[in-house]
Amino acid sequence: MLEVVLGHLEALVGFDTRNPPRAMDTGGIFDYLRAQLPGFRIEVTDHGAGAVSMLAVRGTPRRVFNVHLDTVPDSPAWSADPHRLRVEGGRAIGLGACDIKGAAAGLLAAAARTTGDAAFLFSTDEEANDARCINAFLAGDHGFSEAVIAEPTGCEAVLAHRGISSVLMRFKGSAGHASGADAIEASALHQAMRWGSRALELVEGEAHQRFGGLSGLRFNIGRVEGGIKANMIAPSAEVRFGFRPLPSMSIDALHGRLRGLAPDTALGHYEETFRGPPLPAGDIADAEDRRLAARDLADALGLPIGNAVDFWTEASLFSAAGLTALVYGPGDIAQAHAADEWVTIDQLQRYAESITRILRGHDGGQQ
């Protein structure tokens, strides 16, 4: 099986699916996938802007396996062609090998060794914070009640992770000479820095919060821009920040608290530019019940359960739509997005064998 998996992975890595620029269409990698899935009903959808998805269904399953095919861009730090798979030292090295084309290769290998019900959803927009593929799928009449989303989890089932929210803030000031007595209050940059200090204090005050092995609120001010020069009062400033809440935290309530740290006289604009719910998603009061349902699913599938993680995945979108969802895939998140990213061949084999077992119905559940 490992030879088959590596053959698929070599082909998949060879397709340029970097995102950005997300220059994909319904051919290319999707032609390859079609050819590997005889007996499946195939539906390929172009969602625009290079976002393409493919749903492959055999029989009448109620569980869907999802894997994204897009990768981050490569960097100059790569030591060889990122689109040419190398296998050395027990590792498969190539752009997307870890995140997460290795799982796609495993699904293809498992499909060829089984004949029972199966459903695979391949998507291409996970790396852009622009979930057109998954949102369109979930908005339709899909008929699935369970979802297993592939991300690098070391072949352990992850039942919970943080949400994510990204924000653009603009502060307003009054231009003038920096020698003025009002420079301290009039500068938009000064207001932004005051807000940042208050925001950091707020986040530190949430360190005691806990859920499923995770603790506290993750927060990052990623970019601050504004002003003209040292002797001029800054008339405007822009801040981009993000936070990653626990499933037990309300994203809307956190926005209210963070926005409220800036006086109305200084705040010109506050906009959430991206939101991903936590896993499990939904009503905060139901978070633990949903996590336990995902644990039951992992047990039924015979998957080892790992710790909750800090990174975000699209599993939360499936959870928000009412499906029981968990994250499971080969590889280590530490290798994702890195130069010369790699996944161990042992984990590739373990993942493919586990999917084969599940598709054969050895999990004790319905297929």
Which residues are known to be catalytic?
126
Angstrom distance (rounded) from CA 125 to CA 133: 7
- 327 forms bridges with which residues in the sheet? 149, 158
Residue 209: CB atoms within 10 Å: 14
Question: Environment class of residue 113 by beta-carbon count within 10 Å: exposed (0-12), middle (13-18) or buried (19+)?
Answer: middle
Mark 96-106 as b/e (b = at least 16 C-beta within 10 Å).
bbbbbbbbbbb
Backbone angles phi, psi at 189, to 5 degrees: -65, -40
Cis amide bond preceding 247, omega within 30: no
Residue 239: CB atoms within 10 Å: 25
Integer angstrom CA distances of residue 346 from 179, 327, 330: 66, 19, 9
How many helical (H) and strand (E) elements, i.e. helices and strands, does the chain have? 10, 17
Mark 298-321 as b/e (b = at least 16 C-beta within 10 Å).
beebebeebebbebbbbbbbbbbb
The DSSP element (H or E) to which 167 belongs, if any, is strand 164-172
Question: CB of 19 within 8 A of CB of 127?
Answer: yes
Pairing of strands 324-327, 146-149: parallel
